[in-house]
Every structure is written in C-alpha cells, then in structure tokens.
Amino acid sequence: MTIKELKENPVKLLDDDWALVSAGTPEKWNTLTVSWGGIGELWGRDVAFIFIRPQRYTKKFIDEQDYFTISFFDPEYKDMLRLCGRISGRDCDKIKEAGLTLATDGDAVYPAEARLTIKCRKIAVQPMDNSGFLDKTIEKNYPNKDYHYIYVGEIEKVIEKN
C-alpha cells in the first residue's frame, strides 16, 4: 500500500487517535506519543512530518538513525498511548511497561501491535524558534522555550497489519 491509497483521514489519525513515533535499532529503540504532525507532498516526494521537543528521549534515537516510523493503533490501545506519553524510556523500560513488541522493516523499528505504520526515511530536520510565529498566541505552547524540532521523512512504505 502507498500513502496515496490510505483511506483514513490523516488529521483524524494524528489528532484524535494519536500515534507512536519510534526509532532505534532492534537492540535499543524507543517510542513516544504524538498528536502533532502531518502527511503531504514536499520537494516532489510523499512525506510525513513530526514535531519533537528537544528534551524527549526518543529524539536521540531519531537523530542517530536514518529511519523513523509513525504507528497507529486500534482504540483499545489508547491507555498504552497515554502511558507512552507520560513515562520516559530514559527512566524505565518504556517498551516493556507499555507491553510493546518489536517489529522491523529493514532499518526501521516499530511496535508489532500497530494496525498501521508509516515508514519514513529522514530527509530534513529543522529547529523551530519563535521568530517564525506570526500568531503570537502560539508562544503559549512553549512556556519553557523548548521549541520543537521539525522532522521530515520521505514515506517509503505503509505497513498494514492483516
């Protein structure tokens, strides 16, 4: 399946259902819950983009690897998504705590429990700062000035669980 064949609304998937972004190796990987991001076309490529705060433990894994994945789950996994948004893999074995199982596709890692995973090859990263905020109310999202990094990944594959 390609991203253009996706029958679901990507805004609903991210905003309402949430997702896990994962990166790493089979020996050491991490994941975090996201609801900000998007899917579209950039530089003549199908892309996904995600926003990661600098202090997030998973950022290190994304920075060190060529691939990241964005995974979506059935509704019964909402508590797991909440848990992955609350605890850090820096402080505990988040993967074990969440009850997740490793799956791989080439150099990409993702949770086997996901019903839909978008495999992305990292093609750009850009730190955000408030100088680009035209709507100054956006600043309220950053009381600690911990502006997100924007990651753009070329979508290489969409993996659906059968």
What percentage of residues in the chain have a pLDDT greater than 70?
Answer: 100
In tens, the pLDDT along 89-109 reads 999 999 999 999 999 999 999
Which tokens is 37 given?
A: 């991001």
In tens, the pLDDT along 64-92 reads 999 999 999 999 999 999 999 999 999 99
Say how far apart CA 122 and CA 49 lie, in whole Å.
9
Q: Which domains does the chain have, with CATH numbers?
A: 3-160 (2.30.110.10)
Indicate the pairing of strand 67-72 with strand 102-105.
Answer: unpaired
Say how far apart CA 108 and CA 157 lie, in whole Å.
11
**With contact defined as beta carbons under 8 Å apart, do 69 and 154 qualify?**
no
Say how far apart CA 66 and CA 85 lie, in whole Å.
23
